[in-house]
Every structure is written in C-alpha cells, then in structure tokens.
Amino acid sequence: MGEKPETTESQPLAEYLNQGLPAIVKLGADWCPPCRQMKPILKELAKELKGKVIVLDLDIEKHRDLAEQYGISSIPTTLFYNSKGKLKKKVVGFIGKDQILNILKTP
C-alpha cells in the first residue's frame, strides 16, 4: 500500500478486502484526539507490514456510508478483517501498536 494509508473514492473498501490479505481499517476523524494519536501508529504499521497486511485510516466525514454500514457510534473504531475479507474483530477506542499486532496474530 504506501506510506499513506488512505482509501480514495475510486477504490472502495470492498476492493481492498478482496486482495487476499488481512486488513486493518480504522474509522476516525481529524477532530478526534485519540484518532490523531493512532495516525502515526497506522502509518508505521503500513510501512512495516507492506505486502502482508492492508492498513487503512478512513475519515468518517468522507466515508459516512461505512460509518452507517458498521454502526459506528464512537471513534476511533478499528475493524480487523481476515484474508478472506471477513470481519474478525471490532475495537472501539484507542488501540496501540502492540495490541494491533496481537490481534493480527490471533486466528
């Protein structure tokens, strides 16, 4: 993916999830302090896990449809998908790098 984990309107979430890789999708907003704290963590993970895990940092202001689809009422909310594109875990609130890596290791 690159160092800037962000989707664009031209590549919807489903396209990322159909690439056969596990995925981390954080839904947040620029005005949310814990969301901003997670940004550098996600950028670092995107770089470290490039080609192994898809890392996306989505702004709910730009992706309201996803917020509605997943019933997001608090941010940040981080969604973890397996390599088949199936949601395996949903975490509400700030989550650190070690916690993210532990969730990725859990089948």
Question: Catalytic residue numbers?
Answer: 32, 35
- Which residues make beta-bridge pairs with 27? 58, 77
Instruction: Find the helix or strand (DSSP H, E) in which 79 lies.
Output: strand 77-81
Edge to edge, the sheet with strand 87-92 lists: 54-59, 23-28, 77-81, 87-92
- Which residues make beta-bridge pairs with 92? 77
Contact status, residue 17 vs residue 56, Cβ threshold 8 Å = no
